[in-house]
Chain A
Amino acid sequence: MNKPVPERETKAAQRLGFVDCDIHPVQRTPKDLYPYLEARWREHSETFGGHLCQGLSGQLSFPRMMASGMRADAYPSNGGPPGCDLELMQRQHLDLNGCDTGMMVCLSRGGMEERNLEFGAALAHAVNDWQIHDWVEKDRRLKAGIVVPQEYPDFAVREIDARTAQNEAFRQVIVSPRSSEPLGRRKYWPIYEAIARNNLVLGLHPAGAPGGHPSSGTGWGTYYMQEHYTFGTSISGNVVSLITEGVFERFPGLKVALIESGFSWAPSLGWRMDKQWAHMRKETPHLKRPPSEYLREHFWFCTQPMEEPEEPAHLYDVLDWIGWDRLMFSSDYPHWDYDDPRQALSFKMTEAQRAGILRDNASALYRLP
């Protein structure tokens, strides 16, 4: 999976003209954020560093597989981690494949899992500045996601309002699904109100650092294989929470993009919710419709990691169930399980369906030109 990819010549005819819904830029060093941090927080960062809900400092408790979870060929020759070098990203991905728009999802140092809320807010603020100055202003194809620490809704709301006013490159709000409470709970509603008010999208992407709970209701797994699987199951928990708590009754315009979370689980989750709800609906009188209808109406899914049925044709059932207009291409560049936009959609479909997944579905959701 981590063999260097031979570089290709890009010919105009090869341009795919796609939207990539999951690209991960990262700081070359923590110091990249210093221009956007007050002196107090620069000092805090050096003296104390991050304060997370896990037993290891400076690394993930479930170490990733090859090359720290990165494409080995995405390490820049001049040092730093994959994703820190715009020129390499352009050469390896944006230009090579003919990407029209790249949605940036900044997971690293965004303060989402920081226990010190003010430090988390300062980091999020800095990452949002950094996205504009170090990326968007250098490559207009890139769009930003406002990173907010979900455990600090007061700050998150201010940040969402300010960033939306500041730059139209901000198209969504990135929240950690490893929150301290399921994301449908009242505590987070001011964030959704701000997202809806500003006509943005809520983007959920699995995050590495835990939010204070084991990654599964069964407790902590042993292997990364297990942790990796919980990316899907923990997103399901948040989807159920957002629906069951009535978030979409309160904010009917709210749209959610589930990034790197899979999509084949969605139909079965919808069926199961409807079945249980039929007997238990008196518990949730605020729900006016079967839960699966909220799922179909308010959620979008991304392709990577592409679902691979044993019989490729079985994918059509899944796409028919979730809706062809709900799936958006994502590459996850520069991570190890990167999906190549030319390979990932190798199954047969109509031109309109292909255009939908590669471009049109995301363009409609994010109101791209």
Chain B
Amino acid sequence: MKLPYAGAIDCDLHPAVPDVAALMPYLDDFWREHLTERYIDHSPFVLASYAQNLPQSARPDWRPKAGVPGADLAILRRDALDAFGTRFAIANVLHGAVALYNADMAAALCKAVNCWIAREWLDREPRLRASILVPPQDVELAVAEIERCAPDPRFVQVLLLVMGDRPLGHRSFWPIYRAAEKHGLPIGIHAGSTFRHAPTGSGWPSYHLEDSVLQASAFEDTLVSFLAEGVLQKFPGTKLVLMESGFAWLPTLLWRTNRSWRGVRTEVPWIDRPPAEIVRDHVRFTLQPFDVPNGDVLNRIIDHVRSDELIVFSTDYPHWQFDGEDALPDGLSDAMLRKILIDNPLSTYPRLRAAAEVDQKAPMREEMAR
């Protein structure tokens, strides 16, 4: 269905870096020269999971006649922000830097992407916010990038890909979660793989369709990793936002981990309560791609997970998840829609909450001035 009212918070959309040239002003002399000398200043740096021609990478009517989908602010304003009456939207730039093996190059490119999004997009469009793209190849460099960006309140979360070198709950990543918690930044984990490993435990599937479908399995294994490693006990202020994860698989995960925890709790003694409760307190899911057949089934699944606070609205622009203005499933109650569109995003993102409060106070200040 259409959005019933304006003011939604879109927690996942994708401005794209058009080319390396766009990042050049934000790279230092060393990296500018280095990329140029190696002739990789014209390389696409596009993740294989979102190769540009793939149908899911851009909705047909959102695909520009030329150039990269999502690279034009005016078009994004028209097709995403204005079209859905969006109040805030979180820009997640999916850049190939995170799939490189050279951590220094990755860090330089991530930094350039973050500078570029701040200057070219956030400065020009007050409805936009952004996630901090960090190089997962080197945790110290990732933390340094978080520290560099965090003072800008328009950066509202840290962005990681779901499939990388190892499951994201692993201790080696903890400095990232420590820094994020300190700054009130949720950890946004987005679909996509750096293909360090085969996408399945049985190796490499043949089709893009399989890669796409099996993103859900990677999210499940990642969530179990966060649970088993005790990340959410170690950093209790952490919120995880799973983006493009789907949602329909969650009941199975809650039931299975609740049951298996009873058998394995001596192995993971830091899990101090049923895993389902930990998930409900700490984990949120973006709406698109909406992976249930209709709102009736979604209502059943919301019942199964026993919480109406877990889903946050997203369009996933310009990725192709729905047609027309049909960004919401039919059959949800008005109260549930309001939670998904506004309340849940605000309670997930402290920095959006702060911005919304400033917005609310603004008219009062005007009145007082009169």
Contacts and interface: CB of A to CB of B under 8 A. Distances in A.
Interface of A: 1, 65-66, 177-185, 210-226, 228-230, 232-234, 236-238, 240-241, 244-245, 262, 264-265, 267-269, 271-277, 279-280, 283-284, 305, 307-311, 314, 317, 336-337
Given A217-B199, A279-B320, A225 B255 contact: no
Contacts of A177: 201-202
Interface of B: 54-56, 162-170, 193, 196-210, 212-214, 216-218, 220-222, 224-225, 227-229, 246, 248-249, 251-264, 266-268, 276, 289-293, 297, 300, 303-304, 306, 320
A279 B56 contact: yes
Given A214-B197, A244-B206, 8 more contacts: A178-B202, A182-B204, A216-B197, A244-B210, A272-B213, A276-B209, A308-B258, A310-B276
Given A65-B267, A271-B292, A276-B209, A218 B221 contact: yes
Contact of A264 (B214, B252, B267, B320): B252
A186 to B, nearest CB: 9
User: Residue among B163, B199, B261, B264 with the most chain A CB within 10 A?
Assistant: B264
Contacts of B217: 216-217, 233-234, 236-237
Q: Is the contact region of chain A dominated by helix, strand, or loop, or is it mixed? A: loop
B259 A268 contact: no
Contacts of B246: 268, 272
Contact of B167 (A183, A211, A221): A221
Contacts, number: 248
B300 to A, nearest CB: 5
B234 to A, nearest CB: 14
Contact of B166 (A1, A218, A236): A218
Closest 4 CB pairs of A and B: A237-B200, A234-B201, A268-B248, A216-B221
B202 A310 contact: no
Contacts of A272: 213, 216, 246, 248-249, 291
A233 B256 CA distance: 12
A314 B303 contact: yes
Given A228-B264, A244-B206, A268-B246, A237 B201 contact: yes
A218 B222 contact: yes
Nearest to A234: B201
Contact of A308 (B169, B220, B255, B306): B255
B207 A283 contact: yes
Contacts of A283: 207-209
B165 to A, nearest CB: 6
Contacts of A337: 263
A181 B168 contact: no
B264 A218 contact: no
A204 B209 CA distance: 23
A332 to B, nearest CB: 13
A213 B228 CA distance: 21
A305 to B, nearest CB: 6
B270 to A, nearest CB: 11
A213 B206 CA distance: 16
Contacts of B225: 218, 221-222, 226
B202 A219 contact: no
